[in-house]
Structure 1
């Protein structure tokens, strides 16, 4: 027996939490399935300098806690459940969790997030958790008054390096570029250059991490000269991008070559009723603000999808008598005249037939599903199935002829 919801959100980072807020606020029964505490990568980022509304910055954990409480205030359930399998075929989707429970819904929003990328440098795996870290918020305080190395020079690397300086004696950033060139934004770069605790090694990459049980030193390689040098350090922090946590959806929705979920501007995936949001989605910018935006769009689109599907089902597919579905658009004058003509025909025929008018802008999915390319078009349904179609101009005689053939079935 599975617990039934309107929306299941897989993942409780900023994308999943925003989806929860918008889903529940639309009066849809919404649950977020999240392994551990909600917040995703954002909950491990201490310094957030670019989230709107916080000119002096805010903290990732604080912002995520506030978002979780916001979602719960609207009725979103946030459960400590790890999704391990998905059945996305059919109208009802089923999500299975590690605990053995099953959750069913008409909508699934995939927001599994991404994980820090590893470089597989010699010593990296062996010394992970023993001086090698991928999370400044989690581990920076372990290095109080010690020396550490940061690998990476993008926004996350530079911002996290500055946070680490609150604890460490020195933070040496290894940069692959020429001196003064960083991949991060200019504001963060200026702050980092002005920080007396931050040191720089340019034109270099990390070759090896050494240590007997704990990190003791690193071997650096100058990419211009090929020269190797060893530097003593107590810790190594990696901030070199992420990989999507999408193994669970492989073969179930369309992914790109890097494993990110492909979704359109409405967050719709290749499977009807399944949406994607956040860092696991193929997108241009991965930030807390864009993740939250994705989640809001996904939940909004899902609500419209449910309304469209439920409305079409009740008005058309579950109706016993013949139904004429007229596809029109307010900007197409001929379609307005056609709808008026159909209304007059129905008035003459009485209760033997039903007319349903569909604005193709508001019901784009239904129009696409039934191959409506010309406006106006009329589909004739009988017992939930398409029996005939007329596109473009039509006469009263042609319409009545189609209806008579249906009534004779």
Structure 2
């Protein structure tokens, strides 16, 4: 670590999704003079989402990127110092927390709020990325509503994939579930497997992989291949949901913050506190269950309030 520390702040917020911006709003109003670094994807996952209809306060819905502009403007209006930049290293060894930005300057912070989010895992298809937001989605709960009464496909074999397939079955006419392995290789719990198998409008394709998501400006079908028979087929669908997991953006905190086996930061129940005093976590980086914008915003509020109480107890603010 460099000997010179360029800046000292009361509250450093890492990440700029609903959790980070909400934390910034509350921290700024509490006179904590928060500095927020937006990270590699300013605005978080919502910037690659189209219509958002389930966030309270938007009676007619809102585009994901537009909503995050609103969040950012509100945080800035409250006095948050919002900056471009990516946290690339941390040192939480002492009472003052050190965070490196863009592999360059270091910041000393009395409190740190980690709201770096999580990234959906993708299959790696060109067509999947090209049609992301145009029928391709990694969140059935977020986007399933738009495909009521239509045929959709979902890929995955874990509990999340099964839960989302069942959820979609209540909206879509048919759910085509693509599973790479056979029944013996399905990762989901038995109860979730049984629920999927017993849902009449879920059709499972075992031993199958996705070759291509088809469509120009929207999804029209999906091409799959049965790896046992070699047979290929094209299934007409209006949406393609990827449910192969999420990866929390927590790598730089490994060795400092307690995490579960998947890399999600663990917080003390009922709080945003981590195992390091003065370091708090909010949003999808610590939430593998709900993963919604509204729950992320709520946990961002919690983190700011926890940080304020911590600073007050220390006599800092």
- Interval of TM-score (by shorter of Structure 1 and Structure 2): 0.7 to 0.9
Q: Kindly state the Cα deviation for residue 291 of structure 1 after the two structures are TM-superposed.
A: 0.4
Aligned length: 275
Structure 1 residues 271, 67: CA separation in 2 closer, same or farther (over 3 Å shift)? Answer: same
Larger Rg, first or second structure (1 or 2):
1
CA distance in 1, matches of 2:72, 2:296: 14
Q: 1:51 aligns with which of 45, 49, 55?
A: 55
CA distance in 1, matches of 2:241, 2:252: 25
CA distance in 1, matches of 2:77, 2:164: 36
Structure 1 residues 5, 176: CA separation in 2 closer, same or farther (over 3 Å shift)? Answer: closer
Residue aligning to 1:275: 280
Structure 1 residues 239, 210: CA separation in 2 closer, same or farther (over 3 Å shift)? Answer: closer
Is 2:93 the counterpart of 1:89? Answer: yes
- Superposed CA RMSD: 3.7
CA distance in 1, matches of 2:72, 2:212: 41
Secondary structure class of the residue paired with 1:136: coil
Residue aligning to 2:183: none
- Asked if the contact 1:153–1:182 (Cα under 8 Å) also holds between the matched residues in 2, the reply is no
Residue aligning to 1:369: none
- Asked if the contact 1:172–1:200 (Cα under 8 Å) also holds between the matched residues in 2, the reply is yes
Q: 2:10 aligns with which of 6, 10, 26?
A: 6
Structure 1 residues 19, 210: CA separation in 2 closer, same or farther (over 3 Å shift)? Answer: closer
Is 2:140 the counterpart of 1:154? Answer: yes
Structure 1 residues 285, 134: CA separation in 2 closer, same or farther (over 3 Å shift)? Answer: farther
Once the two structures are superposed, the pairs formed by residues 248-287 of structure 1 within 5 Å of their partners are: 248-264=252-268, 265-282=270-287, 284-287=289-292
Q: 1:70 aligns with which of 53, 74, 77?
A: 74
Q: Kindly state the Cα deviation for residue 110 of structure 1 after the two structures are TM-superposed.
A: 0.6
- Asked if the contact 1:114–1:242 (Cα under 8 Å) also holds between the matched residues in 2, the reply is yes
Q: Kindly state the Cα deviation for residue 34 of structure 1 after the two structures are TM-superposed.
A: 1.5
Residue aligning to 1:239: 242
Structure 1 residues 44, 176: CA separation in 2 closer, same or farther (over 3 Å shift)? Answer: closer
Secondary structure class of the residue paired with 1:254: coil
- Asked if the contact 1:152–1:175 (Cα under 8 Å) also holds between the matched residues in 2, the reply is no
Q: Kindly state the Cα deviation for residue 72 of structure 1 after the two structures are TM-superposed.
A: 0.2
Q: Kindly state the Cα deviation for residue 117 of structure 1 after the two structures are TM-superposed.
A: 1.4
Q: Structure 1-normalised TM-score?
A: 0.58
CA distance in 1, matches of 2:204, 2:138: 12
Q: Structure 2-normalised TM-score?
A: 0.74
Residue aligning to 2:132: 136
- Asked if the contact 1:13–1:40 (Cα under 8 Å) also holds between the matched residues in 2, the reply is yes
Farther off after superposition, 61-70 or 37-46: 37-46
Q: Kindly state the Cα deviation for residue 55 of structure 1 after the two structures are TM-superposed.
A: 3.8
Farther off after superposition, 90-99 or 292-301: 90-99
